[in-house]
A and B are shown apart, each in its own frame.
Chain A
């Protein structure tokens, strides 16, 4: 039995010129109802059914391929228009089920589309540069040694405070150049591939016409206050508005 895999929801009547294919090259169709359109692929249940997700719950290759396809489809829509991403996986049994989804969640989805319309998401991650090796203390006496060690400690504390200030100032500046901002938990270094501690994992919803302003703000922060405080910036995007597609459903599901 086939399943209907739903990538996201867009305004009805918006026809993306180049819809990217789904997993295994699957065709992506727009199922329209309630003034909305769901981007959907009909996929074989023995490869992408509910049970398959349980079977492959710890299979990075399988999940990565599907996540990549999911993102590719949404990005191809967001390139030319608005889209509200649904969380992977959202599966319906039938095409009728997709229509029922649009019907039952119509108001929330329309609201979500309105809040991200004409906007894209940028990700900004800040890392603390590794601390340089401390100078060996060369002391003439025990008291001298202690004094130097305490001075080193004070310098470390000051640096830490400066870094915290720079991170907050950077986030505030980016947030004012954006319509919405969220701070996510730092990524695990085991997954981020970087050893430096992540001190900010932010996502910003930016109006398309304000994108160059937003990027200029980041450049200024990264080259100025962040750099002086030993903080390195990394930007990703633009993304479809994954972090800003909030409906009451999600809030009631206990997410922040």
Chain B
């Protein structure tokens, strides 16, 4: 019914990276050149982005789902 988000420009960076880098099938072993360090890539990116935007505490615990945030 709806068009898939083909225009990646319309997609928020965080949603994009969560999926493209954080999800998807991982092919391990000798078949691919390298897969190690992918999580590091993401962590590194967070480290780069975070200080530019963050003001104040940013931690959201798992208890947010239980409505304990705020």
Question: In the complex where A75-B8, A161-B67, A239-B5 touch, is A105 in contact with B40 (Cβ < 8 A)?
Answer: no
Residue of B6, B14, B20, B62 touching A242 (CB-CB under 8 A):
B20
Query: Is the CB of A226 closer than 8 A to any CB of chain B?
Result: no
| Beta-carbon contact of B37 and A212 below 8 Å | no
| Beta-carbon contact of A88 and B20 below 8 Å | yes
**How far apart are A234's CB and chain B's nearest CB, in angstroms?**
10
Residue of A64, A160, A193, A200 touching B16 (CB-CB under 8 A):
A64
**How far apart are A53's CB and chain B's nearest CB, in angstroms?**
7
The interface residues of chain B lying within 8 Å CB-to-CB of A97 are 31-32
The interface residues of chain A lying within 8 Å CB-to-CB of B69 are 128, 197, 199
| Beta-carbon contact of B25 and A67 below 8 Å | no
Tell me which of B3, B13, B50, B54 has the highest count of chain A C-beta atoms within 10 A of its own C-beta.
Answer: B13
Q: How many residues of B contact A (CB 8 A)?
A: 56
Query: Is the CB of A250 closer than 8 A to any CB of chain B?
Result: yes
Question: In the complex where A71-B19, A198-B64 touch, is A85 in contact with B50 (Cβ < 8 A)?
Answer: no
| Beta-carbon contact of B23 and A85 below 8 Å | yes
The interface residues of chain B lying within 8 Å CB-to-CB of A192 are 12, 14
Query: Is the CB of A3 closer than 8 A to any CB of chain B?
Result: yes
| Beta-carbon contact of B16 and A243 below 8 Å | no
The interface residues of chain B lying within 8 Å CB-to-CB of A198 are 60, 64
| Beta-carbon contact of B67 and A247 below 8 Å | no
User: CB within 8 Å of B: which of A233-250?
Assistant: 236-240, 242-243, 245-247, 249-250
Question: In the complex where A160-B67, A189-B54, A237-B5 touch, is A242 in contact with B24 (Cβ < 8 A)?
Answer: yes
| Beta-carbon contact of A250 and B6 below 8 Å | no
The interface residues of chain B lying within 8 Å CB-to-CB of A9 are 25
**How far apart are B31's CB and chain A's nearest CB, in angstroms?**
5
Categorize the interface residue count of chain A. 35 or more
| Beta-carbon contact of A193 and B33 below 8 Å | no
**How far apart are A212's CB and chain B's nearest CB, in angstroms?**
6
The interface residues of chain B lying within 8 Å CB-to-CB of A59 are 48
Query: Is the CB of A163 closer than 8 A to any CB of chain B?
Result: yes
| Beta-carbon contact of B28 and A53 below 8 Å | no
**How far apart are B58's CB and chain A's nearest CB, in angstroms?**
5
| Beta-carbon contact of A88 and B14 below 8 Å | no
The 0/1 profile, CB within 8 Å of B marked 1, for residues 183-213 of chain A is 1111111111100011110000000100110
Query: Is the CB of A57 closer than 8 A to any CB of chain B?
Result: yes
| Beta-carbon contact of A53 and B23 below 8 Å | no
Show the binding face of B for A, using Cβ within 8 Å. 1-9, 11-29, 31-35, 37-38, 40-41, 44-50, 53-54, 58, 60, 62, 64-70
Q: Provide 19 A-B residue pairs closer than 8 Å at the C-beta atoms, listed in order of the A residue.
A: A54-B37, A57-B41, A60-B13, A60-B45, A63-B21, A63-B45, A64-B16, A64-B17, A67-B8, A91-B34, A97-B32, A165-B67, A189-B54, A191-B50, A193-B12, A211-B1, A238-B4, A246-B25, A253-B26
